[in-house]
Structure 1
Amino acid sequence: MARLRLSFSVGSLFSAVYKMSSNKPITKKIINSPETCVDDNLRGVVAAHPALQLHPTHRVITVRQKSDTGRVAILGGGGSGHEPFAAGFVGAGVLDGAVAGGVFASPPTGHVLYAIAQLYKYNSGGVLVIIGNYTGDRLNFGKAIEKAKISGIKVEGLIVGEDVASSQNKTGGRSMVGEVLFYKLAGALALKGYDLAAIRKEAVEFNKYMATLGVCLSACSLPGQPPLFEIAHDEMELGAGVHGEAGIEKMKMGTAKEIVGMILEKLISHLKLVAGNRVVVTVDNLGGTSIFEMNIISAEIKDQLESKKITVERIFSGHYKTSLEMQGFQICLLHLPKDKGDLWLELMDAPTEGSAWTGGQLSVRREGEHVDDDTLLQADGRKGASGPALSRKEQDLLRGSLFAAAEDLTKSEVLLNRLDSGCGDGDCGITLKNLGLAIQSYLKTASVEYPSNVLWDLSEIAETDMGGTSGGIYSLGLSAASQAMASAKSNDVASWLKAWESGIQAISKYGGAEPGDRTMLDTLHSAAEAFKQNLSADFKLLLQKTIEASEAGAKATAKMVARAGRASYVASDYILDEDAGARAAAIWLQAILNYIIKNK
């Protein structure tokens, strides 16, 4: 099947696909027009990197030179749509120049010839042209090289390719992300002063030790066109190309571990790798894969290869040779043989000014495990007697009230999630349920003799079991309240009011919200004000007034304009009910106070 695909030109393949998919919507892209997008892209490269020179008529980008270097220049290129390939790798230590064709189309012979002549003008050591193993590139670059030789230019070409999926093709595997490694190898050798023949010879050997294979989860689309093919939601294509081609086999989606394992198995078999071998890994983002996913993939590659006793000397991960916005990735393994491995590793590590090369000192292998220093935060002194102590009856009251609050929070998951869904990510109920469950577990064994220590423990629970923004807010408020209770002289309503207000102040200081901004502070502030105003009243009346104020504070948020918190980022049309955080605060506060009223 792969042979059949490769027997067609990329252009004819796309034409056929477009005819079949003419009824599909055009994919959105931020461009000026399909006709100008390639040239606009090249103008953007030199706008961001003014040290580079654009030759606009020929779509060539070179390093700016004013005199002859005397060394060999390295030229790369091919179709556009693979960015940063190839112009992103122009710079000392990689390419001296790159020539761009149309999207997924080889540049014409005349443009390649211009690039060769331009580089030879300032690099009398000659020009080595790296050619991707595609019919159009082989023909157009090859013809340009022959014309350049006739005109007296010292130039050689090298066709490279390392794709496992198409390796049985008569002309060999397609050129994938490995082509970028050739740029790095040849560029570093050129800076070392190697001559044209020596660089080409080393690159030929290099090609024997590389293999690439990847998967795609979604198709890309040419500017102004619909997606090139369809992939079901639960499927992926193995062996996808970088010109928008589908793979050689449809497979069911799997986990990162499963996908990486399947690809590595085929690469290891292709290269005949065994325990004790050393490799360089390049993980190529095909364009639409998140960095988050790419990091997970890199971790899996390292773990799985080293479990097979194959040493991973380097992992280079990033956008190298993409396929527009295709979601997917390729893994390229470079086997480092005993006689060449150290030299090739040195060349991969050599300094370069190519903007898109992600390697460097941070990529160099280091020995040693990644571990935490668990001694750093062990001694915080918070477990000792601190602040006023509670009698046995008061301890029972505190434990019971906290358990009631935790229970009500766990029961309110659906309500809080619904309130949060309009202006947040709909997880407020889940987050507060996690807090409630953690508090219930804590209360089974914890001492509650010292309120200051209890508040501190609750702040730690909020940080670790809630997590996220809500966990941080609750942890701040509770830790500030803990500090206030630690300095209190007695367990009275005035001490609890001071702790309450300290918590509100800490939340406001670090969270940036104030009462009236439609957050949990509206509940807490309203209730605290009622508590303060009724300090001299009958105790149960004090608590009842506080409950009523908390309810009023939560309900008032329904008509407030959000000026802080996640809701402030959302259009007001989506905010039609109470703030979830304000309602949550009312739930646990009312549960605590109602329990005390009933059991005091």
Structure 2
Amino acid sequence: MSSTKPVTKKLINSPESSVDDNLRGVVATFPQLQLHPKHRVVTVRNKSDTKRVAILGGGGSGHEPFAAGFVGGGMLDGAVAGGVFASPPTGHVLYAIAQLYKYNSGGVFVLIGNYTGDRLNFGKAIEKAKISGIKVEGLIVGEDVASSKNKTGGRAMIGEVLFYKMCGAMSQRGCDLTSIRNLAAEADKYMATLGVCLSACSLPGQPPLFEIARDEMELGAGVHGEAGIAKMKMGTAKETVALILDKIVEHLKLVSGDRVVAAINNLGGTSIFEMNIISAEIKDYLANKKINLERTYSGHLKSSLEMHGFQICLLHLNKKDGDYWLELLDAPSSSGSWPGSPLSVRSEEPHVDDDTLLQSDGRKAATGPSLTLKEQELLRGSLSAAAEELVKNEVLLNKLDSGCGDGDCGITLKKFGQAIQSYLKTSSVEYPSNVLWDLSEIAETDMGGTSGGIYSLGLSAASQAMAKAKSNDAAAWLSAWQSAMQAITTYGGAEPGDRTMLDTLHTAAETFKQNVSAELKALLKKTDEAAETGAKATAKMVAKAGRASYVASGYVHDEDAGARAVAVWMHAILNFIVNSI
């Protein structure tokens, strides 16, 4: 059913082209930057090896100037953009890493915002880059107070921008990859962000994401329009700043005599007039607490399209490292987020991609055990059955996802199913390891978003495990299965019991493991029943990971969409095999 709310007016060409048009605008404003259009990557222009460590950031679009606006000397060497409020795909992140490493032999340090999609897609890109011999390290960062008790930690807010500045300054000084990573990991412990919004934002071509009464504000709202921790009556600037800073000061355990840096983020629709008043109130509040405010940075840092609101981030300058951190923040930068920088100089050089970088991922063909012709028919048929069921269950999965996500789980998995159907028409299935790898790549390129990242990571890990197997037997498939779950846990942050797809996978895997010596048909039937049990159990679970964990439990009903999706395709696969042997 279509929404009755009017679409928000925006000066764009079309919702579909808005992300790419935005990036074209970044390099039109700052011509010294280089756009790699097919991969939505913006970098500094280099023609020779700097010998330095390159700093890479990025994430969803709609948060401008984050992250491309902070590309420039002394900050980011490159940024990769996803769709609006969506993580960039693994392939684009990998391209950015490879592009930066080409001109920065000191390595690449990747700052990853603490969101499931970013953890998965950036994480897989880092692992792929390491396999290909690139010197790269990543760090997941997040400092949001509102979500700090979440299983995977606080969401990444504007602290990322401070990391860009400090890590960029270290890179300019010639610091090595390990030193830069250690600094960011340490500083992350001393940052905290919290804010309020007075009105919602809207995606291009869409109505507002939520509603707030005229006399209310939402405390702790996320930069993607996620609900906050409380709706409150509007207060004055002084009252609102005190409300936020009380919680931040408590979270960081700040006391009289401590030194801090404040970053004030305009969420997009707040006037400079208001932002100046907020800055003054922050200064007065901290002075009354006898907390020394060393620097204030105010402006659009990580916006949320046109959301009316602001966030405050405090960095506690501790006694051990505080002076050094401040020195790094004071270091010069030519970042495009500051108007009139050297990046504004006109350039006629074209914007092109280097298509030679990703022509080979170095993976060997025909690895692991091979299948007989009969076994190939079983594999091909079971995958076809699974794909068909994913397509058929689009509506059901969308409905289950609408209560706690953005209602597109069915759409995403339908794309996966259709891509698998196309793949099976021409591809060989002789080597299971290669098939799993191909499916991983399909998930990455055709699904997109968080689900694509999860499936891609799991399938690639399963592929590597199967490549090491000596024979095509139940034990080999169990090992691949367990490797997939471990990879999803490592980068996705979820575990069994967190109300995710892992609940179906884990319940079924345990039953498979316990009955692995049983007759094949009995083994598969019991595994199928366990998958169904695992999916149904999520209806009564409290979400502790993924997007649903940011939503109040009262909004979460019925089974988890991802868990049900696993039960759907697993039933199709197991049922096909049972009926074919």
Shorter-chain TM-score tier: 0.5 to 0.7
| 2:332 paired residue number | 351
- 1:172 aligned to 135, 148, 153, which one? 153
| 2:121 paired residue number | 140
Distance 1:308 1:359, change over 3 A: farther
| 1:200 paired residue number | 181
- 2:266 aligned to 285, 289, 292, which one? 285
Compute the displacement of 1:359 (Å).
13
Distance 1:240 1:65 in 2: 39
Distance 2:106 2:135 in 1: 8
| 1:109 paired residue number | 90
Larger Rg: 1
- 1:215 aligned to 187, 193, 196, which one? 196
| 1:27 paired residue number | 8
Compute the displacement of 1:358 (Å).
8.7
* CA deviation profile, 1:404-462 (whole Å, cap 9, x unmatched): xxxxxxxxxxxxxxxxxxxxxxxxxxxxxxxxxxxxxxxxxxxxxxxxxxxxxxxxxxx
- The one-letter code sitting in structure 1 at the alignment partner of 2:130 is K
Normalising by structure 2, report the TM-score: 0.58
| 1:254 paired residue number | 235
CA contact (8 A) 1:74 1:186 kept: yes
| 2:223 paired residue number | 242
Compute the displacement of 1:355 (Å).
1.9
Task: Specify every segment of 5 or more residues in structure 2 that has no aligned partner in the other structure, as ranges.
Answer: 342-581
The 5-angstrom pairing of residues 454-473 of structure 1 reads none
* CA deviation profile, 1:306-338 (whole Å, cap 9, x unmatched): 111000000000000000000000000000001
Is the aligned partner of 1:273 residue 2:241? Answer: no
The 5-angstrom pairing of residues 124-523 of structure 1 reads 124-357=105-338
| 2:44 paired residue number | 63
Q: How much is the aligned-residue C-alpha RMSD, in angstroms?
A: 1.3
| 1:53 paired residue number | 34
Compute the displacement of 1:291 (Å).
0.1
Distance 1:260 1:132, change over 3 A: same
* CA deviation profile, 1:337-393 (whole Å, cap 9, x unmatched): 011111000000100011215999xxxxxxxxxxxxxxxxxxxxxxxxxxxxxxxxx
Normalising by structure 1, report the TM-score: 0.56
CA contact (8 A) 1:130 1:158 kept: yes
* CA deviation profile, 1:550-579 (whole Å, cap 9, x unmatched): xxxxxxxxxxxxxxxxxxxxxxxxxxxxxx
Runs ≥4 in structure 1, deviation > 4 angstroms? 357-360
- The one-letter code sitting in structure 2 at the alignment partner of 1:118 is Q
Distance 1:151 1:92 in 2: 27
Distance 2:338 2:327 in 1: 15
- The one-letter code sitting in structure 2 at the alignment partner of 1:191 is Q
CA contact (8 A) 1:317 1:358 kept: no
Secondary structure of the residue that 1:22 maps to in structure 2?
A: coil
* CA deviation profile, 1:30-82 (whole Å, cap 9, x unmatched): 00000000000000000010000000000000000000000100000000000
- 2:24 aligned to 35, 39, 43, which one? 43
| 1:122 paired residue number | 103
Distance 1:159 1:188 in 2: 19
CA contact (8 A) 1:54 1:60 kept: yes
Distance 1:256 1:357 in 2: 26
Distance 1:279 1:251 in 2: 27
* CA deviation profile, 1:269-315 (whole Å, cap 9, x unmatched): 00000000000000000000000000000000001101110000000
CA contact (8 A) 1:215 1:237 kept: yes
Secondary structure of the residue that 1:61 maps to in structure 2?
A: strand
Distance 1:166 1:223, change over 3 A: same
CA contact (8 A) 1:316 1:358 kept: no
- The one-letter code sitting in structure 1 at the alignment partner of 2:283 is K
- The one-letter code sitting in structure 1 at the alignment partner of 2:119 is R
| 2:57 paired residue number | 76
- The one-letter code sitting in structure 2 at the alignment partner of 1:238 is L
Distance 1:287 1:101 in 2: 19
| 1:93 paired residue number | 74
CA contact (8 A) 1:286 1:328 kept: yes
* CA deviation profile, 1:198-222 (whole Å, cap 9, x unmatched): 1000110000000000000000000
CA contact (8 A) 1:210 1:333 kept: yes
CA contact (8 A) 1:318 1:358 kept: no
* CA deviation profile, 1:133-168 (whole Å, cap 9, x unmatched): 000000000000000000000000000000000000
Distance 1:34 1:244 in 2: 18
Secondary structure of the residue that 2:167 maps to in structure 1?
A: helix
Distance 2:307 2:279 in 1: 19
Compute the displacement of 1:246 (Å).
2.3
Structure with more contact order per residue of length (Cα contacts < 8 Å, sep ≥ 6): 2
Secondary structure of the residue that 1:297 maps to in structure 2?
A: helix
Distance 1:358 1:168 in 2: 38
Distance 1:104 1:91, change over 3 A: same
Secondary structure of the residue that 1:217 maps to in structure 2?
A: strand
Distance 2:33 2:198 in 1: 35
Compute the displacement of 1:244 (Å).
1.6
Distance 1:144 1:262 in 2: 40
Secondary structure of the residue that 1:115 maps to in structure 2?
A: helix
Distance 1:219 1:247 in 2: 12
Distance 1:358 1:240, change over 3 A: farther
- The one-letter code sitting in structure 1 at the alignment partner of 2:212 is I
